[in-house]
Amino acid sequence: MKSTMKIMIAAAALAVVSGIASAQPMNADIPFAFRFAGHVYPAGTYTFTTQASAPLVRLSNYDTRTNVIALSQSMSYPNGEKNSNPVLTFTCGSSRCELTRIWLGGEAPALNLHRTRLGRDEIATIRLIPLSRSNGE
């Protein structure tokens, strides 16, 4: 019974990951270090891949050989932003920035990511970084 459950979980994970692999990748030039999925990443060009049917985000960077998959905490549908461009949202404190939202624009849902609380006296600022379609590299 336990091995059957493990096989079912592995098959479900494979289906979700293969679904993400078929989604349209988006690129972003991020000019500052940031936190994502519990790790710190340097400034650079990153590729983000999401799938509307699965709350997963894949982050890739060819130069640093980074390839991470993270689960979003929730999905939301932005009001009044239907014609806006795709964007990454970072919540920044005095010493760090953290990726907190990915939105591919149009009618796609925004993926809200886990956010670490800032310090008691820290003031949060929001930084928006535009996403652009990947050329398939």
Q: What is the spatial distance between Cα 48 and Cα 126, in angstroms, rounded to a whole number? A: 19
Which segment of 19-28, 68-77, 82-91 scores lowest on mean pLDDT? 19-28
Residue type, 129: I
pTM: 0.72
pLDDT bracket for residue 63 (50, 70, 90): confident
Supply the Cα-derived Rg of the chain in whole angstroms.
16
User: Are 22 and 30 spatial neighbours (Cβ–Cβ below 8 Å)?
Assistant: no
The reported pLDDT for the residue numbered 21 is 41
Task: Identify whether the C-beta of residue 36 lies closer than 8 Å to the C-beta of residue 113.
Answer: yes
Q: Which domain holds residue 85?
A: 2-133
Q: How many angstroms separate the CA atoms of 103 and 22, rounded? A: 18
Output the pLDDT for position 8: 47
Give me the number of domains the chain comprises: 1
pLDDT reading at 119 higher than 80: no
